[in-house]
Amino acid sequence: MRFFFLFVAVFFAAHLVAAKPDSAGLVKAGFSAAEKQYAYMLSAYTDLKLYPRSADPNGKTTFTTIGDWTGGFWPGCLWYVYEYSNDEKWKSAAVKWTESLEKNQFNTNHHDIGFMMNCSYGNAYRLTGNESYKRILIQSAKSLATRFNPVVGAIKSWEVFHSWDGKAVYNFPVIIDNMMNLELLFLASKLSGDANFRNIAIKHAETTLKNHYRPDYSSFHVVNYDAKTGKVLSRETAQGFSDNSAWSRGQAWGLYGFTNVYKETGQKRFLRAAIKMAEFYINNHNLPADKIPYWDFNVNQAGYTPNWKYDASRFKEIPRDASAAAITSSALLELCRYVNGRQKEQFFSMAKAILQSLSSPQYTAAPGTNGYFVLKHSVGSIPHNGEIDVPLVYADYYYLEALLRFKRFRF
């Protein structure tokens, strides 16, 4: 009899969790904040050549132009608000901003076309099925594929990389962020039937797993290759604290990217890697109690020495990076779908804890402030002295994506 009551209690508890993953109303609150901020943004800024990206120290929105890596996030945010609200006004804004990026389908200047086109046109195609978007996505993948070098087995990220110590210049840098651009290639294979895009993505992931990761599954930011032989020439950082440190957003890009490669391939080696990356974040002794990471996991630690001009006295506290947290939360909610038992609960709890922190007034801006972005306290690049403790459009994008994944999640 006791077992019967226990069974009934467990059944109802499980049912409750399944029925109400969002008992605290995080999703509603997050999208309500987004709707308010983005209504201000849309009415204040109508020039389709200026893409909202961040805010200056006075809280005024800053922008980039079409060639920058972040242009696709603003339309992407609008698509997520439309997906949540089903309100046509967000759709028409999302269409307008998405279509402003059309010329980027031919952009072969850097690897970021995946971010630019998948977050805008990828969401547009997913939510509307518009056939003209499909052609643009396939052409975008073709442009990205031009940067693949079969000898290296990777897509070249940037044209050039200058070491911070000024001693070397490299011509085939690959950064961990590049894992995010593979999603466009997998999509293009499905849309076109051409397996080449997918093969390139898998090869790039293999090479990255082999050369970017340390035994503890922290990642180097930049790996420089010899384009003729494929040999690794150096492993360094561009945006992290030191060459041997774990830059928080890089960790997030890797976790998200490898989770997606597992989703697309079903190959267990990629799942095992993503799990290790998730564990690196979750078990990290240097992860603050609110689960929003410092901008790099190793700032100011013994054994980590920056090669750039770092002045610790400039920072009363080590800046956090809400963008890394938002990307991590979204990635964990995807990874949760492929694991079971204690691991599933652990990854889900961490994703939820991050969302709870991001949704608190500590990280969510009051309406009308923060350059009309939702989240505060992200970091672009401290070594480059740019965008420190500011809103960033991609923090908002992955936060909204995580909220939608959280809403859909069922144990």
Annotated binding site for substrate: 112, 177, 237, 249, 253, 381
Among 249, 320, 376, 377, binds ligand GLY (CB under 6 A): 249
Q: Rounded to the nearest whole angstrom, what is the least distance from the CB of residue 314 to ligand GLY in the complex?
A: 20
Q: What CA–CA distances, in Å, run from 351 to 30, 84, 242, 291, 292? A: 15, 19, 27, 9, 11
* Nearest residue (CB) to ligand GLY, 69 versus 186: 69
Q: Give the count of residues interacting with ligand GLY (CB under 6 A).
A: 4
Q: Which of 22, 56, 68, 112 is catalytic?
A: 112
* Nearest residue (CB) to ligand GLY, 249 versus 377: 249
Q: Rounded to the nearest whole angstrom, what is the least distance from the CB of residue 311 to ligand GLY in the complex?
A: 21
- Which 48-77 residues touch ligand GLY, going by CB under 6 A? 69
Q: Which of 47, 177, 243, 396 is catalytic?
A: 177
* Nearest residue (CB) to ligand GLY, 115 versus 225: 115
In this chain, which residue has its C-beta nearest to ligand GLY? Answer: 177
* Nearest residue (CB) to ligand GLY, 82 versus 398: 398
Provide the annotated binding site: 112, 177, 237, 249, 253, 381
Tokens 């998948």 -> residue: 118
Q: Rounded to the nearest whole angstrom, what is the least distance from the CB of residue 239 to ligand GLY in the complex?
A: 6
Q: Rounded to the nearest whole angstrom, what is the least distance from the CB of residue 38 to ligand GLY in the complex?
A: 22
Q: Rounded to the nearest whole angstrom, what is the least distance from the CB of residue 249 to ligand GLY in the complex?
A: 5
Q: What is the 3-state secondary structure (H, E, C) of the chain?
A: CHHHHHHHHHHHHHHHHHHCCCCCCHHHHHHHHHHHHHHHHHHHCCCCCCEEEEECCCCCEEEECCCCCCCCHHHHHHHHHHHHHCCHHHHHHHHHHHHCCHHHHHCCCCCCHHHHHHHHHHHHHHHHCCHHHHHHHHHHHHHHHCCEECCCCEECCCCCEECCCCCCEECCEEEHHHHHHHHHHHHHHHHHCCHHHHHHHHHHHHHHHHHHECCCCCECCEEEECCCCCCEEEEECCCCCCCCCCEHHHHHHHHHHHHHHHHHHCCHHHHHHHHHHHHHHHCCCCCCCCCCCECECCCCCCCCCCCCCCCHHHCCCCCECHHHHHHHHHHHHHHHHHCCHHHHHHHHHHHHHHHHHHCCCCCECCCCCHHHCCECCEEEECCCCEEEEECEHHHHHHHHHHHHHHHHCCC
Q: Is 177 an active-site residue?
A: yes
Q: Does residue 396 interact with ligand GLY by CB under 6 A?
A: no
* Nearest residue (CB) to ligand GLY, 261 versus 271: 261
Q: Rounded to the nearest whole angstrom, what is the least distance from the CB of residue 266 to ligand GLY in the complex?
A: 27
Q: Is 87 an active-site residue?
A: no
For residues 150 to 179, the per-residue mask of contacts with ligand GLY, x marking binding by CB under 6 A and - elsewhere, is ---------------------------x--
* Nearest residue (CB) to ligand GLY, 90 versus 399: 399
- Residue ranges in contact with ligand GLY by CB under 6 A: 69, 177, 239, 249
Enzyme catalytic residues: 112, 177
